[in-house]
Amino acid sequence: MTLAEGRRDPEELPNRPGFWRSSLNPWTVRTRDNPERVAFVLHRVTGFIILAFLLAHIIETDSPVWSQYFPYSGLSGWALWNHIMAIESGLAFRIGEFIVAGAVLFHAPNGVRLLLAEFFGVGVGRPGDPRPPYVPGTFRAAQRQWLYAVFVVWIVLWLIAGVIIFS
């Protein structure tokens, strides 16, 4: 008993689903009428993509400095910068740019929706008297429309970004 009174340490729990089951849970559990879960998974994945991009971006923009101490394939300073810029104008990096653009364009509008719902409790409906066909209030409330709007805005902006990046 290391937790608050009455709660067991999960390490003590026998036969609990392990790391793989937990990681697979967003994919293995099937739920109906639940685009929020799709958004949850996308929000995670796009979050990781953005994080990876930011780290790479910091290393890249800082390369004229760090390469003075740790030269990369014999290049340092602005010579390395020009070398990196030459690589990044290639098609593979454009595709990467396109993916990052898609990640940001989903993550940002969905983040606004989540902020509104999670911190201000708006768009999630009010408790009431459940009536047939027993659709939960959250699924009838505004956040569902916002979510569809997020998907539409995302795809449209992503297409525009694609045109800008590849033309």
Chain residues that interact with other proteins, rule: CB under 8 A: 3-8, 10, 13-17, 21-23, 25-26, 28-34, 36-37, 39-41, 43, 114, 117-122, 124-125, 127-130, 132-139, 141
CB of 154 to other proteins, least distance (A): 17
* DSSP alpha helix (H) spans, 29-141: 35-61, 63-69, 78-88, 91-120, 137-140
Q: Toward other proteins, which CB reaches closer, 69 or 131?
A: 131
In terms of CB distance, is 75 or 122 closer to other proteins?
Answer: 122
- Minimum CB separation of residue 40 from other proteins in Å reads 4
The strand pairing partners of 75, in sequence order, are 72
Residue 88 CA neighbour count, 13 Å, CB half? 13
End-to-end CA distance of the chain: 62
Distance between CA atoms of 83 and 108, rounded to whole angstroms? 32
Of 30 and 70, CB closest to other proteins? 30
For residue 121, the minimal CB distance to other proteins (Å) is: 3
Residues 6+ apart with CB under 8 A from 157: 105
- Measured from the CB atom, the residue of 4 and 86 that comes closer to other proteins is 4
CB of 153 to other proteins, least distance (A): 19
What is the number of other CB atoms lying within 10 angstroms of the CB of residue 110? 21
Amino acid identity at 30: R
* Minimum distance from residue 100 beta carbon to other proteins (Å): 22
Whose Cβ is closer to other proteins: residue 30's or residue 86's? Answer: 30
The reply to whether omega before 133 is within 30° of 0 (cis) is yes
